[in-house]
Amino acid sequence: MASFLITGASRGLGLAFVKELASRKSSEVSNIFAGARSNVPALQEHSKTDPRVQFVKLDVTNPDSVKEAAAQVEKKLEGKGLDVLINNAAVCHYDMQKMSNPTLEKDIMREMTGLEEEFQVNVLGVQYTTREFLPLVEKSELKKVVNITSTFGSISSASDPAIAWSPCPAYKITKAALNALTVQYALEYQNKGFSFIALCPGWLKTDLGSQMADLTTEEGAKASLDIILTPGQVYNGKFPMIKVKGWETQEEAASHGGYAGKNVYDGRNIPW
């Protein structure tokens, strides 16, 4: 049985992780700690019907909040370790004026106004959370720390038209920094049996991804867990894309229409 903690669990992919884990047998999943700033109705409903789902008040940008959350989880685990920490909480600010008017001259200064906030959530929030929960993860059997990232954080892919056009440079910068943070942890803890993974869950239909996206959050969560629960340290220090049946080749992806032809979900490792 594995225990999980998911940050940003009140909506989007985080909530989808909670739902997917709750659908699995108790022999596979023991505890599902849903970390979020508030206990939204969707989480309340799951905790009512499944005692494995437990809300944990957690603001990743507040070190004191993270410390209190770690203490709460440690108490509930009753001496056992935390098998999987999923750092999912994130924020992205798009320049909506640029999106509504693609011919508008690019103004990098205007588009970087959210850099401090995004760095606080997307990078420092992951650091605060990892730092506090690491002792609990070290006590577990699986020892997995998963940082949810994006192809937008790939420096090698920055000039790809689909990525370069998107007006969210602060998000791209912070995800690149998150990837670097993941690698540093992976190198430091690989001899202790840890797996630190920079995982791309695909382009999902969320508030961040929009309804134009390729995949549902349910598809993203399930495919992500396939990678997360791969035995051993296969993905330690790696930047994998999820693998989704029917999306593994460009021909299959193109059959879904829209923007899909450019997005293949074949489980490959994304270039840094």
Contact in structure between 147 and 178 (CB atoms under 8 Å): yes
- Residue positions annotated with a catalytic role: 150, 171, 175
Residue recorded with tokens 């905790």: 47
Cβ 128 vs Cβ 60: under 8 Å: yes
Q: Which has the closest alpha carbon to 270: 165, 194, 137, 176?
A: 176
Residue of 88, 82, 73 lying closest to 3 (CA atoms)? 82
Q: What is the spatial distance between Cα 78 and Cα 93, in angstroms, rounded to a whole number?
A: 40
Task: Give bridge partners of residue 144 from the DSSP assignment.
Answer: 84, 195
